[in-house]
Amino acid sequence: MKSVRPPGRHLPALAFQLEACHGELQVTHAHIDAAIAEHFEGALSPEDASIAEWWATESRGRIVAACLQLHAGSNELMLEICGRWLGLREPRG
């Protein structure tokens, strides 16, 4: 399989986008971990649980959409990401 690499001038933008996705994923994990800990302590309110769920869902959508754009040149990766995207998307309004 031939590797699809962006031209050299795009590498900093690619690295920045990957780091942004990684950072958002770390924030989401920390938020969910805190919500789980509060749940086990009996301190998680329904509002906070809803906020944690909303944040995780929205974050997942943003990260998958960014990955889809980054890997659009590879057909196999694109098909896998598109399949996951369609499987994870929830109907909106």
pLDDT the model gives residue 14:
81
In a domain, 9, yes or no: no
In a domain, 53, yes or no: yes
Q: Is the pLDDT of residue 41 over 90?
A: yes
| 58-92 per-position pLDDT tens digit | 998 888 888 777 766 666 666 776 666 666 655 55
What value does the mean pLDDT of the chain take?
80
What is the span of the domain harbouring residue 50? 21-88
In a domain, 29, yes or no: yes
Which of 41, 35, 69 lies closest to 55 in space, CA to CA? Answer: 35
| Count of the separate structural domains present in the chain | 1
Please report which confidence band the pLDDT of residue 9 belongs to, taking 50, 70 and 90 as the band edges: low
In a domain, 28, yes or no: yes
In a domain, 1, yes or no: no
Q: Is the pLDDT of residue 3 over 70?
A: no
51 vs 8: CA distance, rounded Å? 40
